[in-house]
Amino acid sequence: MDVVEGRVFYQGRLQKACVGYEDGLIVSVKKALEGEEHYDFGDRLILPGAVDPHVHFREPGLTNKEDFLSGSLSALFGGVTCVLEMPNTVPPVVDAESLREKRERILGRSWVDYGLFACLSPGKDIEGLSNCHAFKIFMGSSTQSVLMREETDLAEALVSAGSTDKVVSVHAEEDDMLLQKDERFLRDHEECRPRGAELRAIERLLTYQDKARLNVCHVSCPESLDLLKGSRTTFEVTPHHMLLDSSMDLGAWGKVNPPLRRRGDREALFTAFCKGEVPMLATDHAPHAPEEKERGFGEAPSGLPGVETGFSMMLALVKRGHMSLDTLLKAASMTPAKTFGLNKGEIAEGRDADFVVIDPRDIRKISARELHSKCGWTPFEGKEAIFPQAVFLRGRMMLRDGTIMNERCGREVSHV
Ligand code: DOR
């Protein structure tokens, strides 16, 4: 057994403790423990690694933007020890063959653990997709999306998904309500993708909630929270919808679907998050190359990177007193792990030994130059973040003080 010692987040609070782990699993949490290796982190915080249920690492086919190596390295540096990765690649992951090809291609190339989404598409059988981790549906068009618009297709897909135990994550924007017009500013993009489209899509989805395990991705306005409140459907909010808005001077770098909305919307989402009303934090890390974003607003693709900055910015907001550490860790680690059936997300006996060590005094300003995504830019330049000083993946110290310490060992997760 090896041991990490410090101020451990255990049973809902920080306590001075030792965590013993063996063969990648936590075996004991006690005031004092003796291990072969003993890492004493003093008064630094030992937290569960974050689980990001929504990232796009662009393999195969879009590797000018990102690939599994660079995306997962970026996750590791951001304290994210597990990601669930999206299927809107080229080709998209929609059947047994595309899933197998992707799986083979990324094998051995991830710095963190990962699960793979497969896209449900009209008329396609889900049979071949039995070993994806979860399903994705795009109700509204977005980057390389495989659309599902018709009621009969949606109903059929959700009923078959419901015959499995897998979660269906949905990009909820009603495609018929999206407008095509000249876009030059973030406000235009927001007008073209009105909140009504999100609300309508969520209303439609909620009629299926006893059929399948539904999860609504990247909720962008407080009215959607009202619709989802009290339902059994889980949902995600992104850091960008809580920290950025369409009045900011971001140009195409802030173009994303669903769009950044008004300042009041962003503040309402952030307030709900701080109150613990948002089940999951998800970054929707969706990198595009700078030259693609520089094409001019109308031509630029939607999406922005965030897997390295999401958890770390929220940790700085905990330090600044906006929310409790408990609230953040529930949304960033515990609930995503629980929702998607992962043996992760908390420091407890039997869980994977995925730890992030932070020093709350070590607040830094985000700089794109220091991040690890291939895309090389961030919309969060200059914002405060607390990056991990050490990261452990299933008991292996992967990162310490900015240096990689171990061989790459990320592996595909399975349901527990
Ligand atoms: O802005 C977005 N970008 N929204 C999505 O749903 C997809 C994503 C991407 O893949 O670039």
Average pLDDT of each block of 10 consecutive residues along the chain (416 residues)? 98 98 98 97 98 98 98 99 98 96 98 98 89 97 89 96 96 97 97 98 97 98 97 98 98 98 98 98 98 97 98 98 98 98 98 98 98 98 98 98 98 94
User: Which residue has the CA at smallest separation from atom 2 of ligand 1?
Assistant: 303
Kindly state if the Cβ of 286 falls inside 6 Å of ligand 1. yes
**365: which strand partners?**
384
Whether 88 is in the pocket of ligand 1, judged by its Cβ within 6 Å, is yes
Predicted confidence at residue 262, as pLDDT, reads 98
Torsion angle in degrees (nearest 10) through CA of 284, 56, 149, 183: 70
What are the tokens at 132? 């994806």
Quick one: which H or E segment has residue 117? strand 113-119
At residue 232, what is the residue type?
R
Tokens 């094998």 belong to 107
Q: What does the pLDDT read at residue 124?
A: 86
The three-state secondary structure class of 161 is: helix
Whether the bond between 91 and the residue before it is cis, its omega within 30 degrees of 0, is: yes
Q: Is the CB of 142 under 6 A from ligand 1?
A: yes
Q: Which of 54, 55, 56, 292 most suits a substitution to test ligand 1, by most atoms within 8 Å of the C-beta?
A: 56
Note the helical H segments in 207-252: 222-228, 239-243
d(Cα 118, Cα 99) in Å, to the nearest integer? 7
* Number of CB atoms found within 10 A of residue 128's CB: 16
pLDDT at 145: 83
Active centre residues (catalytic): 284
Does ligand 1 come within 6 angstroms of the Cβ of 303? Answer: yes
Distance, CA 301 to ligand 1 centroid (Å)?
Answer: 8
Ligand 1 pocket, residue 171 CB under 6 Å: yes
- The encoded tokens of residue 118 equal 């497969």
Residues listed for the chain: 416
Per-residue confidence (pLDDT) for residue 25, from 0 to 100: 98
User: Among the atoms of ligand 1, which is closest to the Cα of residue 88?
Assistant: 10
Q: In this predicted model, what pLDDT tens digit does every residue of 194-220 receive, in sequence order?
A: 999 999 999 999 999 999 999 999 999
CB 282 within 8 A of CB 236: yes
Which domains does the chain carry?
2-46+349-404 (2.30.40.10), 49-339 (3.20.20.140)
Query: Interior CA angle at 351 toward 115 and 324, to 5°?
Result: 90
Tokens 């003796």 belong to residue: 34
Mutate to test the pocket of ligand 1, among 257, 283, 307, 374 (most ligand atoms within 8 A of CB): 257
Residue matched to tokens 């349901």 = 415
160 lines ligand 1 (CB under 6 A): no
Pairing of strands 25-30, 13-22: antiparallel
Q: Is the CB of 56 under 6 A from ligand 1?
A: yes
Would you say 135 and 103 are in contact if contact means Cβ atoms under 8 Å apart? no
Cα–Cα distance between 363 and 386 in angstroms, integer? 5
Taking the C-alpha atoms of residue 235 and residue 216, their distance in angstroms, rounded to an integer, is: 4
Q: How far is CA 154 from CA 67, 120, 137, 149, 389, in A?
A: 31, 9, 9, 7, 45
* pLDDT score, position 36: 97
Beta strands 167-171 and 213-216, pairing class: parallel
Question: 77 forms bridges with which residues in the sheet?
Answer: none
Q: Quick check: CB of 81 below 6 Å from ligand 1?
A: no
For the CA of 287, the nearest atom of ligand 1: 11
| Backbone φ, ψ for residue 16 (5° rounding) | -65, 120
Atom 3 in ligand 1: which residue has the minimum CA distance? 303
pTM of structure:
0.98
Question: How many Cα neighbours within 13 Å face the side chain of 300?
Answer: 26
Encoded tokens for 220: 């962008």
Contacts of 30 by beta carbon, 8 Å cutoff, 6+ apart:
17, 18, 20
Q: Which atom of ligand 1 is nearest to the CA of 138?
A: 6
Nearest atom (ligand 1) to Cα of 56: 10
Q: How far apart (Å, rounded) are the C-alpha atoms in residues 32 and 357?
A: 18
Query: How far apart are alpha carbons 345 and 354 in whole angstroms?
Result: 8
User: Tell me, what's the pLDDT at 143?
Assistant: 82
What pLDDT, on the 0 to 100 scale, is given for residue 271? 98
CB 186, CB 244: distance < 8 Å = no
Pocket probe mutation, ligand 1, options 54, 137, 143, max atoms within 8 Å of Cβ:
143
- Does the beta carbon of 143 lie inside 6 Å of ligand 1? yes
